[in-house]
Amino acid sequence: MTHWTITFQDAPEMTRIRSDKTRRNAHIAFVRGRSELQIGGPLAMTPMQDFPGAIWTVQAESRADVERLILSDPYYVASLRRYTIANWTSQMVKQVSE
């Protein structure tokens, strides 16, 4: 398995998506139900700022697996949320776990 970090960059209009309680509950159930999603959460540059994005750390076999996870998230709206995926090298993982 490979460790991956996904950084999401949200358009300002994502505020509307995040304020939809039904969609938010679906997103929370989604992330809680995915054991491969090890940790994640919103990003804010300053306290009380609306979130300009989010970050996830995922363990998956391939980049394609990571993309499938992203695309199945109820919060993912292609026109409002961009993402970048970076994989950790085995040396990085070893250093972090020591």
Tell me the pLDDT tens digit for each residue of 10-68.
Answer: 998 888 888 899 999 999 999 999 999 998 888 876 666 666 889 999 999 999 999 99
Distance CA 92, CA 77 (A): 31
Distance CA 35, CA 92 (A): 21
Domain span at 35: 2-97
Distance CA 22, CA 9 (A): 22
End-to-end Cα spacing for the chain: 18
Number of domains in the chain: 1
pLDDT at residue 50, rounded to an integer = 67
CATH of the domain at 63: 3.30.70.1060
